[in-house]
């Protein structure tokens, strides 16, 4: 998410105007207890929720594996991975994310979400939100009346690797 033009405290642009694109497209991804802001290119596909193959004795943030396009993907709860609890609501969906860690056998991860992500244009006036950050959150921004959190997707993938799950 380093391409997002976030304002520093005091209103100074963190990215110089000459380096910042006029606008970027992001996705607001609803979770049970927060909204994530992802770059549009991080998301491969939105699919309907399907109960994963759970395995006993694994971390609560690792929900199991799901089938997608002849692959088995790890399904994760961002809320549980960052100190909250996993929740599967009535509008649960799965966002398939492009993996960022450069591991040859890991091209995609699946993330449990609560609803349908919506597209948003992000301009150079994007302002940082002064809120406490949870683990795996890099930053938070204000979008109208909403606070969106920018996740550290590489750290989430590394959490999987550290647990021996990928």
pLDDT of amino acid 21: 59
Confidence of residue 43 (pLDDT cuts 50, 70, 90): very high
60 has pLDDT over 50: yes
pLDDT of amino acid 63: 95
Give the pLDDT mean for 54-72. 90
Which strand (E) or helix (H) includes residue 156? Answer: helix 153-162
* Structure token digits, residue 158: 């590394």
6 has pLDDT over 80: no
Confidence of residue 101 (pLDDT cuts 50, 70, 90): confident
Q: Contact at 8 Å (CB) between 77 and 88? A: no
What DSSP assignment string belongs to 99-140? --S--TT--EEEEEEES--EEEEE-TT-EE---PPPTTEEEE
Architecture of the domain delimited by 24-162: Beta Barrel (2.40)
Domain ranges of the chain: 24-162
Q: Which of 74-83, 99-108, 154-163 has the lowest mean pLDDT?
A: 99-108
């Amino acid at each position: 998410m380093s391409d997002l033009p976030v304002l520093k405290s005091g209103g100074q642009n963190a990215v110089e105007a000459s380096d910042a694109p006029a606008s970027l497209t992001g996705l607001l991804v609803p979770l049970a207890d927060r909204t994530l802001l992802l770059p549009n290119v991080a998301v491969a596909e939105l699919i309907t929720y399907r109960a994963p193959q759970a395995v006993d004795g694994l971390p609560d943030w690792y929900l199991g594996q799901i089938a997608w396009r002849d692959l088995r993907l790890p399904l994760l709860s961002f809320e549980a991975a960052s100190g909250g609890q996993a929740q599967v609501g009535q509008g649960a969906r799965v966002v398939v994310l492009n993996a960022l860690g450069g591991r040859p056998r890991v091209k995609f991860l699946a993330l449990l979400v609560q609803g349908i992500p919506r597209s948003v244009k992000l301009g150079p006036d994007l302002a940082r939100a002064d809120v406490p950050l949870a683990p795996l959150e890099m930053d938070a921004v204000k979008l109208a009346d909403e606070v969106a959190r920018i996740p550290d997707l590489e750290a989430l993938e590394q959490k999987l690797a550290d647990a021996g799950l990928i």
